[in-house]
Structure 1
Amino acid sequence: MPNDRLRAAIDAAGMTIEDVSARVHVDPKTVGRWVYSDVRRPHRTTRQRVAQLLRVEEGHLWPADERPTPSAAVAELVHLYPTRSAVPVSLWNDLIHSATEAVDVLVFSGQFLVEQHDVLPVIRSKAAAGVRFRLAVGDQHSPAVIQRAVEEGTTGGLEGRIQMMRRYLHEVAHLPGVEVRTHGTILYNSIYRFDDQALINGHAFGSLAGQNPMLHIRRVPGGSLWEHYMRSFDRVWDIAEPEPVER
């Protein structure tokens, strides 16, 4: 299993494996092995240098062998970003392009996925390879969407972004394995699930989505965060309306 905490900390610091390698005087291949296998651990002095470089606790990157992780929930949390805008582009792209089984998205708009991360060609190619997509976007006419737009000071703007996203998704909604639905529920959290990892964007009253914190979590045995948010997704999905398919 990859060391997602180390990878997230490197991304959050705006660095690459090569940057870390140069700063701690270790071969890039060695740093890569630390990232892509959580059983690979550097010597203690090197761990301390890496933790100091990335400004995180050593025990967060490499939990001590002699003591158990405090809880499965701690193991589930890969990284906490102060805002959605702070999530590195490289992480978004890695999660989007590495999915091999399932992608679930719950948003009102999510327009940035198309316009910033060019997700439509990825959906086409991955759906052809058997990846399942469930994409739940808002109904721009619903009271929840209209209220949210007023609260965040974007009256008319949010509705327009949703309408544009629905138009984008019409291009892929007919593909086998791709389902698009609309919902009118209160959006307490936007959810972006890619196989066994997910980004959870909580929403605070009066704030734009990009200004709110983002949890990066992963599925681990015994964890509760993953099941908590996936159950929430399923509840919305079950009452959402299938989007008409244009062929």
Structure 2
Amino acid sequence: MASAGLSPRQLALRVGVSGKTVERWVADEELIPHARNREDASAALGVEAAMLWPKAVRDRLKTGSDQEIVRSYPYRSACPSTVWGELISGATDDLFFGGYTSYFLWSHVPALPDVLRRKAAKGCRVRFLIGDPEGTVTTQREGIEDVAMAVSTRVRTTMEQLARMGPTEGLEARFSAPADATNHISLSVFRFDDEALVTPHLATRVGHDSPLLHLRRRGEQGMFQRFAEHAEELWSRSVSMERPTHSG
């Protein structure tokens, strides 16, 4: 204010606030005016608003592990299908689909089978970890959700789509182990190299009604890494989708 030749009262008139308000701005470093007032004050004083109130800038920027959160969605269905398509298309090394059913992918991503074939042919590892449609946890969850399209039906949709692709080198599909089914159905992890979409499933909600986080790896001990390790642990104990046959 001294450099601009303005008194608190004169600055207040320029901004449209009281003189006492400006005096409080000067006296209390923790007090941050509304964005419009910050802009008007900085224009009157001829300096950047960030110089006057740097805390407002720091509060707006993500720091630490928060930087890994690209965006959050209150519902999985609120995440645009274009995001799924772009993440799948952009991956070159590792595609991990760790939803208990993952059935929605086939409608979300146009020509998904062709995309996965091309990815696998170029050396990208493609994995599907799904729940056992005949498992106890699947049956229990169907009773909880009580919706027209049952969990087992959604799982079988994915199984049918994968079967139609035929043998594809680089593509693997397994059931989560029975002991891990509860952990699997409560948390879906979809990984695309160094990005992931993670859905923690709410108690009685179907997947598309549960929240979703879009994460991007920023370090070795962040949220992305923890979810990725969770997915790998489930995969390490997963079981073949081939069921034994009995004769006689």
TM over 0.5: yes
Which ranges of structure 1 fall in alignment gaps of 5 or more residues? Answer: 1-43, 46-56, 64-68
Equivalent residue number for residue 71 of structure 2 = 79
Rounded to whole Å, the distance in 2 between the matches of 1:78 and 1:156 is 31
Structure 1 position 135, deviation (Å): 0.7
Q: State whether residues 173 and 179 of structure 1, in contact with CA within 8 Å, keep that contact through their aligned partners in structure 2.
A: no
Shift, 1:94, TM fit: 0.8
In structure 1, the partner of 2:202 is: 204
Amino acid in structure 1 at the alignment position of 2:87: L
Q: 1:173 to 1:199 in 2, by over 3 A?
A: farther
Go from structure 1 to structure 2 and tell me whether the alpha carbon gap of 1:109 and 1:222 turns closer, same or farther (over 3 Å shift).
closer
Residue 147 of structure 2 corresponds to 154
Identical counterparts, % of pairs: 26
Pair member with larger Rg: 2
Q: What is the RMSD computed on CA atoms of the aligned residues? A: 2.3
Q: 1:59 to 1:87 in 2, by over 3 A?
A: farther
Task: Tell me how far apart the structure 2 counterparts of residues 123 and 225 of structure 1 sit (CA, whole Å).
Answer: 26
Separation in 2 of the partners of 1:228 and 1:153? 32
Aligned-partner Cα distance in 1 for 2:57–2:127: 37
**Cα displacement string for residues 153-201 of structure 1 (whole angstroms, at most 9, x for unaligned residues):** 1377211121121111123462111110012411121111001000001
- Partners of 1:99 and 1:132 lie apart in 2 by 10
Matching of residue 142 in structure 1 with residue 135 in structure 2: yes
Corresponding position of 1:98 = 90
Q: TM-score under structure 2 normalisation?
A: 0.68
Query: Using the alignment, how far apart are the partners of 1:242 and 1:70 within structure 2?
Result: 42
In structure 2, the gaps of 5 or more residues are 1-47, 50-55, 244-248
Determine the structure 2 residue equivalent to 1:171: 164
**Residue in 1 aligned with 2:193?**
195
**Cα deviation, residue 117, structure 1:** 1.2
Contact persistence 2:84–2:108 (CA under 8 A): no
Cα distance change of structure 1 residues 60 and 241 upon mapping to structure 2, 3 Å threshold: farther
Tell me how far apart the structure 2 counterparts of residues 115 and 222 of structure 1 sit (CA, whole Å).
34
TM-score by length of 1: 0.68
